[in-house]
Chains A and B, each alone.
Chain A
Amino acid sequence: MADPFDAALDLLRRLPPSSTQQNLSNLISLRPDLEEDLLSSVDVALTSKRCKKTGRDFLCCDYNRDGTSYRSPWSNEFEPPIEPEDAADLIPGGRVRRMEEAVNAGVDVYRELYYEGGVSSAYLWALDEGFAGVVLFKKTAAGVGKGGWDSIHVLEVTEAAGKRSAHYKLTSTVILDLGLSSAAVDSLELAGNLTRQTQSDLQLGLRDSEVEQSHVVNIGRMVEDMETRMRNLLQEVYFGKAKDVVGDLRSIQPLSEVGREREAHKDVINKMGR
């Protein structure tokens, strides 16, 4: 018998991605024992909250959540507040928080350059041999048709002894939801998500003072390259593949004509070969 957790993930890969959130809660009510594993491994569209202290919007995910509270990357505080002893464990300080602030500042510039709007947030937390983090973007499109882009980049950073280099493991998911409703086509929904992984060993500079700054640069560059790669991939799948499959199902040109053209083409090739 297949492992129930694998079966749940397989099911979520098959059922309509527009209902992932609903299917996820249905799966949890069916198998409450899988709740924690599912919530930490299934990506759903991000929600945003307004930071009470700074008035800036931030994004919510499993990594900045404690119960029903979320930590703002701008104030570094949970909203609504959590128990002080929990906060002591969950609120990053020192070098991790310094890097988190720097990643947020960098990602903010990146977001304006590529998204020209939207919301971004980054969260980091310490690990024994380094640290981990998540970089999030959300943009909703106005204009012809509806559109939503959510990207979730999860990073695991292992620092080499002496901190001259580090190993970066990046798992990125983009949730892209597009829809159109017009007189010509009653409704067209193109919705889904793609996940890709990459790993890289990168330098951290020669001086200790360069380490933190180098992490920010390395993370930024990896996220940028991955997003650009995934954007191309999404374009291929959403507008190339989907259209090709429709063309495989039905041919606008009558198939007898297609057949005749193919024969004629073969004839020409044969004659040329003689």
Chain B
Amino acid sequence: MSSKSSTVASFVEAAPPGELSNVVADIKALSPNEVSSLGPAFQKYNEEQYATIKIPGSSEATASGAQSHPLESPHADTIKSLQKSFSAAASEHFPSSTIGIYPNDSNSSIAILLVANKYSPQNFWNGRWRSTYHLTPSNNSVTGSIKVDVHYYEDGNVRMSTSRKVELSSSSADGIVREIAKAENKFQEELNRAFTTLAEGSFKGLRRQLPVTRQKVEWEKIGGYRLGQDIGGGRSK
């Protein structure tokens, strides 16, 4: 791959939720000859970001990411049951989401995927929640991760990205679905607390809202401020 095609591919792979078409339009304007080389980058983006597609003849979207094989798996019953219970559980917490339940190639595990998107380009923000779980049917244990991305871009570019590894187990497949909802609730509560930690911690430590003196700077008398007295007086030494 030429360095130009790998550069434009890296742009596609880093596209924020809901803005792939904008990124591609920019690439077209910058380097029209490279657009034809983007096939593999699109595939990678679709699989990593759980792009949803409507299967012909179906009214509901399904999440790509793992290939969906026709169900010849020995876990067909588990998959059917998970499809029902996970879909019901998802609609209890996600106003809009798409799920996918797929066996892996060797039938040793079942992938449980969820993607929720909320796009509001007219207000300059977009968001995506992705849940990925791998269930081992032999012992009903699950490993996985939750990833959330938010992009805000009104006269700027602010990106939040967070991820959390998840490990849980239960005595039954239905139990797994309940444990997932619990783990996701816990993560979301912890995320909200992390926002507060950053706001009260790092952010406050960067620039004060007002000087220690609680007064704005008197620029006319700027030469009169004395180091150590007027300045930094509130700091513990």
Q: Report A's interface with B, CB cutoff 8 A.
A: 1-4, 6-8, 10-20, 23, 26-27, 29-31, 105-106, 109-110, 112-116, 137, 139, 141-149, 176, 178, 180, 182, 184-196, 216-217, 220-221, 224, 227-228, 231-232, 234-235, 237-239, 241-243, 245-246, 248-252, 254-256
Q: A14-B22, A110-B217 are in contact. Are A191 and B4 (CB under 8 A)?
A: no
Chain B residues positioned under 8 Å from A196 (CB to CB): 155
Q: Please, how many angstroms separate the alpha-carbon atoms of A216 and B221 in the complex?
A: 11
Q: A112-B231, A239-B195, A246-B127 are in contact. Are A11 and B151 (CB under 8 A)?
A: no
25 contacts between A and B (CB under 8 A): A2-B26, A7-B27, A14-B19, A23-B11, A30-B31, A112-B227, A112-B231, A113-B212, A113-B225, A141-B205, A142-B205, A144-B201, A147-B202, A176-B203, A180-B202, A187-B163, A188-B194, A189-B160, A193-B157, A227-B207, A242-B160, A242-B195, A243-B192, A245-B118, A245-B150
Q: A8-B26, A15-B15, A194-B158 are in contact. Are A250 and B93 (CB under 8 A)?
A: yes
Is residue B213 within 8 Å, beta carbon to beta carbon, of the partner chain? yes
Pairwise interchain contact B29-A3, C-beta atoms closer than 8 A: yes
Is residue B187 within 8 Å, beta carbon to beta carbon, of the partner chain? yes
Q: Please, how many angstroms separate the alpha-carbon atoms of A137 and B208 in the complex?
A: 13
Chain A residues positioned under 8 Å from B201 (CB to CB): 141, 143-145, 147
Q: State the Cβ distance, A135 to closest chain B Cβ, in Å.
A: 13
Q: State the Cβ distance, B182 to closest chain A Cβ, in Å.
A: 11
Q: Report B's interface with A, CB cutoff 8 A.
A: 3-4, 7-8, 10-11, 14-16, 19, 22-23, 25-32, 91-95, 116-118, 125, 127-129, 148, 150-153, 155-165, 184-185, 187-199, 201-203, 205-213, 216-217, 219-220, 222-223, 225, 227, 231-232, 235
Q: A4-B30, A146-B202, A250-B129 are in contact. Are A192 and B163 (CB under 8 A)?
A: no
Q: Which one of A116, A144, A217 has the greatest number of beta carbons of chain B within 10 Å?
A: A116
Given A7-B25, A14-B151, A23-B14, 8 more A-B residue pairs with CB atoms under 8 Å apart are A4-B30, A27-B30, A113-B208, A141-B201, A187-B161, A196-B155, A248-B127, A250-B94
Pairwise interchain contact A180-B194, C-beta atoms closer than 8 A: yes
Q: State the Cβ distance, B231 to closest chain A Cβ, in Å.
A: 4
Q: State the Cβ distance, A189 to closest chain B Cβ, in Å.
A: 5
Q: A189-B160, A252-B188 are in contact. Are A242 and B219 (CB under 8 A)?
A: no
Chain B residues positioned under 8 Å from A191 (CB to CB): 158-159
Q: Please, how many angstroms separate the alpha-carbon atoms of A234 and B198 in the complex?
A: 12
Q: State the Cβ distance, A42 to closest chain B Cβ, in Å.
A: 11
Pairwise interchain contact A13-B157, C-beta atoms closer than 8 A: yes
Q: A189-B160, A246-B188 are in contact. Are A220 and B217 (CB under 8 A)?
A: yes
Chain A residues positioned under 8 Å from B158 (CB to CB): 17, 190-194, 237-238, 241-242
Pairwise interchain contact B202-A10, C-beta atoms closer than 8 A: no
Closest to A3 in B: B29
Main secondary structure of the interface of A (DSSP, over half): helix
Pairwise interchain contact A8-B206, C-beta atoms closer than 8 A: no
Pairwise interchain contact A254-B223, C-beta atoms closer than 8 A: no
Chain A residues positioned under 8 Å from B23 (CB to CB): 11, 14-15
Pairwise interchain contact B212-A145, C-beta atoms closer than 8 A: no
Chain B residues positioned under 8 Å from A188 (CB to CB): 160-162, 191, 194-195, 198
Chain A residues positioned under 8 Å from B225 (CB to CB): 109, 113
Q: Please, how many angstroms separate the alpha-carbon atoms of A197 and B152 in the complex?
A: 18
List of 9 A-B pairs having minimum Cβ-Cβ separation, nearest first: A192-B158, A147-B202, A194-B156, A7-B29, A113-B211, A184-B190, A2-B29, A144-B201, A149-B206
Chain A residues positioned under 8 Å from B213 (CB to CB): 113
Pairwise interchain contact B127-A245, C-beta atoms closer than 8 A: yes
Chain B residues positioned under 8 Å from A242 (CB to CB): 150, 152, 158, 160, 195
Pairwise interchain contact B190-A185, C-beta atoms closer than 8 A: yes
Pairwise interchain contact B150-A246, C-beta atoms closer than 8 A: yes
Of A26, A193, A221, the contact of B156 (CB 8 Å cutoff): A193
Q: Please, how many angstroms separate the alpha-carbon atoms of A266 and B29 in the complex?
A: 52
Q: Please, how many angstroms separate the alpha-carbon atoms of A190 and B10 in the complex?
A: 21
